[in-house]
Amino acid sequence: MKSAMQQHSDFVEGLPFIGSGCPYDLNIGFVFPFGGFGTFFNKAAIHQLTQPLYCYGNQQQQQTAENPDFIALSCAYLQNNTIGELDVYLNGDSALDLFYKYSATRHFCLHSDWALGYMTSHYAHKHISGLHPRRCQSQKCDSASISCHNQGPAEMELFVQQHSLATASSRR
């Protein structure tokens, strides 16, 4: 028997996926992870966030031919300059480059969860999905938990023991 996270990973194999134990949507144009319940990126999502974005010049034409919707949408968000990210952009920066540089500006004033939600929605073009079972309170972790919060040493040790037992029985 696979864990919930393994089942979820199989479901999105090869497609960019970004998930959280507790995503929050305020209808502000992006979904952000909430409450310290973790954010999970699969390999395809990380790959997408590391791709260079050429929004000007000959490289843009070549890159647009390879992935027209993704590049056009990324460059359009960049041109909107909603939070000032265009001010630090250099042609060829990836989304991660862009936010690394943006976070060092004097006017950077976003909570890390909001920055992550904004970046993934606008530059990976993925809203953060909820993982199941959904955990948006400090509930006790169990073998089905994807992410937990406010767990002390005793709770963490119990979780490891339960998870080890569940993993061992699924191998039989």
Write out the chain in H/E/C secondary structure: CCCHHHHHHHHCCCCCCEEECCEEECCCCCEEECCCCCEEECHHHHHHHHCCCCCCCHHHHHHHHHCHHHHHHHHHHHHHCCCCHHHHCCCCCCHHHHHHHHCCCCCCCCCHHHHHHHHHHHHHCCCCEECCCCCCCCCCCCCCCCCCCCCCHHHHHHHHHHHHHHHHHHHC
pLDDT of amino acid 10: 45
Model pTM score: 0.71
pLDDT of amino acid 118: 92
- Domain residue limits, the chain: 18-130, 137-172
pLDDT of amino acid 78: 93
Give me the tens of pLDDT residue by residue for the chain, a chain 172 residues long: 444 445 455 455 678 888 887 888 888 888 888 876 778 888 889 988 998 999 987 665 555 445 668 888 999 999 999 999 999 999 999 999 999 999 998 888 888 888 889 999 999 888 888 877 666 665 666 666 666 666 678 877 877 777 676 555 555 5
pLDDT of amino acid 162: 74
